Each structure stands twice: as structure tokens, then as C-alpha cells.
Structure 1
């Protein structure tokens, strides 16, 4: 599973941030690694033009699921680390729910060609 980090021009895409994203997101989604092709992390400063405290850091995580539509979650927080961690936990719950439903779905009976069907009595 590859984790690709994207930031806006107000957040520095440092090596440290990339490593934290790999550690936090990779750790949260470790059990789904074989079912995911990659995870896109988009981190931005929502109110970059304003000064002061507030919930203005946003992390959007989009998991690319093999054979299915992508799953995306958003988390707003005061710091980049909180937004990243919150989004990772939301994505973990979303994937757990999705894969749980898929795994409980009854298997469709295979359709046999007429030549392979047993004769009727």
C-alpha cells in the first residue's frame, strides 16, 4: 500500500510530515494493506489568510480499494497531526464497515453451462 501525500502551498510537505503520514495512516490501515492499492492524503490550511487559533487544518484521506470505488473521509482539526490522526481513524472505521459488509455478503452460486449440468430424473 502506497501513501501519497499532497499539501497546499501553506503547509510544508517536509520529509518529517511524509514520515508521520506513513506511520499514522499506515499503522491505522495496516490490516487492510492487501486490499488497498494506495491512499491519497490531502492536507490543507482552510483559513490560511486569517490569523489566530481555530480549527483550520484539514486532512482528506482517499483510499483506493482494489476492485471497488474509492473511499474518502475528511477531518478538520487545530493541528496537522490531529487532522491526520482523526482522518486515519475515520478511514479505518469506514473500511472496516465496507469490508465487513462485503465479507458477509453471500457468495453467488456459480453458474454451470448446460453441458456440465447433471441430467434431470
Structure 2
């Protein structure tokens, strides 16, 4: 499972942040890795440089073998909360999709 990490121009996407979030994503989605070829993570600040509540957004797109890609997003006050929220939504979606695949 390949993980691609992207940020918008207002978020610092240095190697330390990338390593932290990609390892978190890999750990959380480990049990799905045989079904997923790639995960794309997009982090953005919806308000740009302005301060705001719930303006950090994480969009996760999963490429499932033999299926259309699925995408989930979550907005929160911090990047960490946004990534965690998006991961929870993605795991729920993957449980449903892969469950259906295994039942057929």
C-alpha cells in the first residue's frame, strides 16, 4: 500500500509531518493493506492564513483493487484531529465495502 501525502501552500508539509502522518495512516489501515493499492492524503487549511475554528481539513482517498476509489474528509481544529477523524470515517467505509466484497 503506497501512501501519497499532499498539503496546500498554507500548511507546512515538511518531512517530519509527512513521516508522522504517513506512519499513522499505515498503522490505522494495516488490516486493509491487501485490498488497497494506494492512499492519497490531502491536508488543507480552509481559511488560508486566517484563524478559524474547524478550518483544518483532511481528505483521504483510497484506491481499492477492483473498485472505484473512495474519498472521505473531516474538518477539525488541528491537523492531527482532522487526520484522525478522516481515518475513522475511512475505516468505517472500508469495513462496509470489503465486507460486501467478501460476502459475494
More strand by share: 2
CA distance in 2, matches of 1:49, 1:12: 12
Q: Deviations over 1:48-104 (max 9, x none)?
A: 1423x4110000000011111001100000000110111111111100110001111
> What RMSD, in angstroms, separates the aligned Cα atoms of the two structures?
1.0
CA distance in structure 2 between the aligned counterparts of 1:96 and 1:14, rounded to whole angstroms: 31
**Residue in 1 aligned with 2:71?**
72
**Structure 1, unaligned stretches of length 5 or more?**
106-121
Which residue does the alignment assign to 1:61?
60
Residues 7 and 42, structure 1, Cα contact 8 Å, conserved in 2: yes
Alignment length (residue pairs): 104
Larger Rg: 1
Partner in structure 1 of residue 8 of structure 2: 8
Q: Which runs of 5+ in 2 are unaligned?
A: none
Match of residue 81 from structure 2: 82
Structure 1 equivalent of residue 29 of structure 2:
29
After TM superposition, the runs of 4+ consecutive aligned structure 1 residues lying more than 6 A away are: none
Give the alignment's TM-score, normalised by structure 1.
0.82
Distance 1:20 1:73 in 2: 20
